[in-house]
Amino acid sequence: MKLFIDSADVSEVSALVKSGLGLIDGVTTNPSLIAQSGASIHERIKELCAVVEGPVSAEVTATSFDGMLEEGKALAAIAKNVAVKVPLTEEGLRCCHALSREGTAVNVTLCFSSAQALLAAKAGASFISPFVGRLDDIGHDGLQLIEEILDIYRAHDFATEVLVASVRHTGHVTAAARLGAHVATLPPKVFRALYKHPLTDRGLRAFLDDWEKTKQTIL
Ligand code: G3P
């Protein structure tokens, strides 16, 4: 399963890519994350595309088909590894179809049902982004949606990758991995938490304490 970082903070993404070499396969952003960063979207997407080799999702903010298409083309022109993110609306799926036919990778976002995911795959999306955390927040089961979408995509051999978004904790990541999701995009805090287990820390401390008593050195 691929792991993306859900952030527009270039120094944080860059630090994670350096320390987790080989573990980070891409980045996702959205208008809220770009707004939080305070950076210009063009600048920020360019910087992120230079930091990671894999896809960097950059989201359109127009809501009409023509507007989304124009913005999508402008975003795609920033770097070869941009994936244009469009919302799951009628216009968004039309735009997805048009951009995909031209060879641009499209990430269809704000997906909350398997019916929506079916349409996105038929529209040629490279990625579908179901938001698990926001579904959990309203008392639904976000991971159940991932399972349903994977069943549909497998049954019909769709090439669209399921990108698990709105991840809140490591349990979402491991459950998505067990289900066979293609990608999960993680806030930096959740990515760092994947390394952690209290027994690892405690075990290492004990090994090092015992080793010190031997007065040996390996080198
Ligand atoms: O980028 C889309 C998604 O990951 C947003 O997550 O935490 O705002 O629900 P969140």
Per-domain boundaries in the chain: 2-214
pLDDT of residue 51: 97
The predicted model gives 184-199 an average pLDDT of 97
Pocket flag, ligand 1, residue 37 (CB < 6 Å) = no
The whole-number pLDDT of residue 195 equals 96
- Give me 104's structure tokens: 């641009």
Catalytic residue set: 85
Residue 21 pLDDT: 74
For a mutational test of ligand 1's pocket, the pick from 162, 166, 173, i.e. the residue with the most ligand atoms closer than 8 A to its C-beta, is: 166
Give all strands (DSSP E) within 56-182, no chain letters: 56-59, 82-87, 106-111, 127-130, 161-164
- The CATH code of domain 2-214 reads 3.20.20.70
- Which residue in 10, 66, 17 sits closest to 39, CA to CA? 10
Task: Give the SS3 label for residue 79.
Answer: coil
Each residue's pLDDT tens digit, 88-141:
999 999 999 999 999 999 999 999 999 999 999 999 999 999 999 999 999 999
Average predicted confidence (pLDDT) for the chain: 98
State the closest ligand 1 atom to the C-alpha of 133, by its place in the atom list counted from 1: 9
Determine the Cα–Cα distance for residues 27 and 84; give it in Å rounded to an integer. Answer: 12
- Classify 48 as helix, strand or coil: helix
Q: Is the pLDDT of residue 38 over 80?
A: yes
